[in-house]
Chain A
Amino acid sequence: MLSEERIILMTRMASYEQGEGKKNVRIGNYFRSDYIALQTLKAIVCAILVFGILFGLYVLCNFEDLMENLYKMDLLAFAKEVLTYFVAMVGGYAVLVYIVCTWRYASAKKSLKCYYHNLKKLNSLYQDGQ
C-alpha cells in the first residue's frame, strides 16, 4: 500500500540528493578542521603558482632594466620586497579562502541537518508502517 506522505518525503529527499545535496554531502563527510585545512592548503598552492606566474611576467617586462642594474641594485632589499609581496598575497588569499570555506561548511551542515531530520522522519514512518 502506497503511503503518500512517505512518497512525498522521499521525492523531496531524492531531489535534494541529486541537486544541492551532492555538494553538501561531500562537504559534510569531512570534519570542519579537515575541510578548512584542505581548502586552505589548495588555496596556498594556487596562490604560490599565481605569484610565480606574475613574478615571471614582471621579470619579462623589466628584463633589460633588471639585467642592467643587477650588479648595482641591493639584492637583499629586492628579495625582501619580493618576499613581502609574496607573503601579503599568499597570506591574504589564504585568509579569504579560510573565511569563505568556514561559511560554506556552516551552511552545508545546516542544510544537511534538515536532510538528516527528514531521514529520521522517513525511518520512523517506515517503522510505524510496519
Chain B
Amino acid sequence: MTVLLEMKERIKLIYSKSEAFIVPAIKFLLAFIVFNTLNGRMGYMTRITDMKIVLIAALACSFLPLGLMVLMAAVFSLMHMYALSMEVALVGLCMYLVMYLLFFRFSPKDSLVVVLTPLLFSLKIPYVVPIAVGLLCGPSSLVSVGCGIAVFYLLRTVIDSAPNIRTMGEDEILEKVRMMVESILGNKAMLVMIAAFAITVLAVYLIRRMSVDYSWTIAMVAGAMINVVLLLIGDLLYDVNLSVGSVLLGSLLAIVVAKVVEFFRFCVDYSRTEKVQFEDDEYYYYVKAVPKMAVAVPTKTVKRINTPRSGETRSGASRQSGRSVDVERTAPDRSGSRNVPRNGAGAQNREARKGQRSMTVGKAERPQEPDDNLEGYEEWP
C-alpha cells in the first residue's frame, strides 16, 4: 500500500509540475479518439475522414475549452449524417438543439461526460459511467449522462438505418424523417438505460456523501447492484434484449475502475478517525476528522564534504567555507495540515502525522522535534 501511495504522490508531483503540458495532451488524445471513432463508425463523408482534418480538429480542441470538443464532435456527426441524408441531419440537428436548449443549462460544465458516455458505450464499457459520475460529480450530472446516452442511441440508429436510407429515393423526405423519429422515440433500450443510469448516479451520489465509514466503497457496490437490478427489470418489462452476462461483467469492471478513482480522489484511513466536539460563540461543533492517507516521496540528498572544519550550525544548511552539507527534508504530510482545528485534536493529529513522517527513513534528515513549527515550513521548488 505504501508503494501505491508513493506512486500516487509521484504522479501528483509530476502533474503539478507539468500541468500546462499534460492537460492539453490529454484533451488532444481524447478529441483524437472521439473523432476517429466517429469517422470509423459512420464515415459517410469521406472528406472529413482524412487524418489531417482529424489531427487539426484534435489540436484545436486541445487548446480550447472542453465545450468546443462537444461542439466539434456534434459537427462531425452532423456532417456524416448530412452526407448520408439531409433529413437524417435535420433530425440529428433538432435533437442536439433540444438537448442544448433544455438540458445543458443545468450542467454546462459536465460537457466531458457528454463526450465520454457515447465513447464508453461504443467501447462496450458503459457501466463505468453512472458510478464514476456519481462519485465525482453532483446530481445535476445525471442530465449530462442522459444526454450522452441519447446521443449514442441517435448515432446507432443512424448507423443501423443507413442501408435502408440509402435505398430510399430523394423525394421520400417525409418517410425518412418519420422513420428516424419513430426509431429514436420508440427505442426502449435507450429509455431503460437513461432511467437506470440516472437512478444509479443519484444513489451513488447520496450514499457517498453520507458520513459513515467506507461510504465510497458502499456507494460503488450499491450503485453497481442498483444498476444491474434496474437494467434486468427494464429488460423483463420492455424486452430490450440486454445481455445479462455483459451487464454483470461490465458492472464488476465498473467497480474496479471506481476503486482506482477512489484511490486517487478519496484515499482516507478510517482506522485513525477522530471525533471532537468544541464550541464557539455561535455554534457547538461535532466534528469527525478522517485523515487522508499520504506518504512523503523520498528525495535524494547530496552530502558534500570538502575539508573538515568546525563551526557547523544546528540548522543544518551551512555555508561556511570548506564544508557544505545539504540536509534536505522530505516533503511533510501537509494534506489538511492548515485545516486542523486549534484544539486538543490538533496535537493528536500532529502526533499521528509525526509518526507517519518518520517512516521516510534512509535519508539524511534532522530528527523531528515536537516543537518544530512544521506547519509553517514551505518547501520552495
Contacts and interface: CB of A to CB of B under 8 A. Distances in A.
Interface of A: 4, 8, 42-43, 46-47, 49-50, 53-54, 56-57, 60-61, 63-64, 93, 97, 100
Given A53-B94, A63-B174, A4 B376 contact: yes
Interface in B50-102: 91, 94, 97-98, 101-102
Contacts of B265: none
Nearest to A39: B105
**For the complex, would chain A's binding face be called helix, strand, loop or mixed by DSSP majority?**
helix
B174 A64 contact: yes
19 contacts: A43-B105, A46-B101, A46-B102, A46-B105, A47-B101, A47-B102, A50-B97, A50-B98, A53-B97, A54-B94, A56-B94, A57-B94, A57-B181, A60-B178, A61-B174, A61-B177, A61-B178, A61-B182, A64-B174
Given A63-B174, A100-B106, A57 B91 contact: yes
Interface of B: 91, 94, 97-98, 101-102, 105-106, 174, 177-178, 181-182, 338, 376
Nearest to B109: A23
A61 B94 CA distance: 13
A54 B181 CA distance: 11
A61 B181 contact: yes
A39 to B, nearest CB: 8
Contacts of A47: 101-102
A60 B90 CA distance: 11
A61 B235 CA distance: 29
B202 to A, nearest CB: 15
Nearest to A49: B101
A53 B95 CA distance: 9
Give the top 5 A-B pairs by smallest Cβ distance, nearest first. A46-B101, A61-B178, A60-B177, A53-B94, A50-B101
Contacts, number: 38
A8 B91 CA distance: 54
A46 B104 CA distance: 11
Nearest to A7: B378
A43 B101 CA distance: 8
Contacts of A49: 97, 101
Contacts of A60: 174, 177-178
A34 B91 CA distance: 36
A56 B94 CA distance: 10
Contacts of B338: 8
A100 B143 CA distance: 13
Nearest to A96: B106
A97 B140 CA distance: 13
A4 to B, nearest CB: 6
Contacts of A64: 174
Nearest to B91: A57
Contacts of B177: 57, 60-61
B102 A93 contact: yes
Contacts of B181: 57, 61
A64 B172 CA distance: 12
Contacts of B376: 4
Contacts of B174: 60-61, 63-64
B159 to A, nearest CB: 21
Contacts of A54: 94, 98
A50 B91 contact: no
A64 to B, nearest CB: 7
Nearest to A48: B101
A42 B91 CA distance: 24
Nearest to A61: B178
B178 A50 contact: no
Nearest to B87: A60
A114 to B, nearest CB: 13
A11 B101 CA distance: 38
Nearest to A54: B98
B179 to A, nearest CB: 9
A53 B98 contact: yes
Contacts of B91: 57
Contact of B102 (A8, A50, A56, A57): A50
Nearest to B93: A53
A90 to B, nearest CB: 11
Nearest to A63: B174
Nearest to A8: B338
A54 B105 CA distance: 19
A56 B95 CA distance: 12
Q: Which of A42, A49, A60 has the most CB of B within 10 A?
A: A60
Given A42-B105, A50-B98, A64-B174, 6 more contacts: A46-B101, A54-B94, A57-B177, A60-B177, A61-B178, A61-B181
